[in-house]
């Protein structure tokens, strides 16, 4: 059922509405894991990371592509069923790890770019103007408090 939904275009990286238990919402992998379907959760997590990578590639935030095929030069005919499952599992793990590393690197680069722009746009004159404006606000507030106290004292007398 899950494979059918994914092949029909369902996005595995969408989240549910936030609740008090999960303020950030839950992905399909989170829901599968909490209900005890650990293998399905791993599959959905991998698909979610690959989908996120593809979305970021389309947006131009990440360059390159993921190696998602499992064509190894090892002859699959001589492997047992368990060894084939292990081979597929390791390939999925490599794909997910590669996608996660590239996504994390893209976020780091974006964060560094934002910090660099903030430093470039902040000038000593702008900082001085901000400090002077803050001091004027503090002074006006203190004067207001003093006037309020004096008015209250005048009413009492």
pLDDT digits (tens, 9 = 90+) for 4-16: 777 777 888 888 8
**How confident is the model at residue 154, as a pLDDT?**
81
Residue 36 has pLDDT above 90, yes or no: yes
Closest CA to 121 of 110, 131, 113: 113
Conformation bin of residue 22: beta by default, left when phi > 0, alpha when psi is -120 to 50: beta
pLDDT class of 152 with cuts at 50, 70, 90: confident
**How confident is the model at residue 68, as a pLDDT?**
66
The stretches of the chain forming alpha helices (DSSP H) are 2-7, 28-34, 38-59, 81-121, 124-156
Asked if residues 41 and 58 have their Cβ atoms less than 8 Å apart, the reply is no
Span 37-44, average pLDDT: 90
**How confident is the model at residue 33, as a pLDDT?**
92
Count CB-CB contacts under 10 A for residue 61: 14
Asked if residues 49 and 101 have their Cβ atoms less than 8 Å apart, the reply is no
**How confident is the model at residue 140, as a pLDDT?**
84
Rounded Cα distance, 74 and 153, in Å? 92
**How confident is the model at residue 56, as a pLDDT?**
87
Enumerate residues 6+ apart whose C-beta is below 8 A from 44: 2, 12, 27, 28, 29, 32
Conformation bin of residue 60: beta by default, left when phi > 0, alpha when psi is -120 to 50: left
**How confident is the model at residue 75, as a pLDDT?**
67
Is this prediction's pTM over 0.75? no
Count CB-CB contacts under 10 A for residue 49: 23
Residue 70 has pLDDT above 60, yes or no: no
Considering the chain, what percentage of its residues have pLDDT values greater than 70? 94
């Amino acid at each position: 059922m899950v494979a059918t939904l994914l092949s029909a275009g369902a996005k595995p990286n969408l989240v549910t509405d936030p609740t008090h238990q999960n303020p950030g919402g839950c992905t399909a992998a989170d829901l599968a894991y909490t209900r005890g379907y650990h293998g399905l959760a791993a599959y959905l997590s991998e698909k979610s990371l690959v989908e996120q990578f593809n979305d970021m590639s389309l947006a131009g935030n990440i360059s390159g592509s993921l190696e998602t095929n499992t064509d190894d030069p090892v002859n699959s005919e001589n492997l047992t069923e368990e060894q084939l499952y292990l081979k597929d599992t390791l390939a999925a793990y490599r794909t997910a790890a590669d996608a996660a590393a590239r996504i994390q690197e893209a976020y780091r680069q974006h964060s560094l770019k934002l910090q660099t722009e903030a430093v470039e746009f902040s000038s000593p004159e702008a900082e001085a103007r901000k400090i002077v404006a803050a001091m004027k606000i503090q002074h006006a507030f203190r004067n207001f408090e003093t006037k309020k106290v004096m008015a209250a004292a005048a009413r009492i007398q």
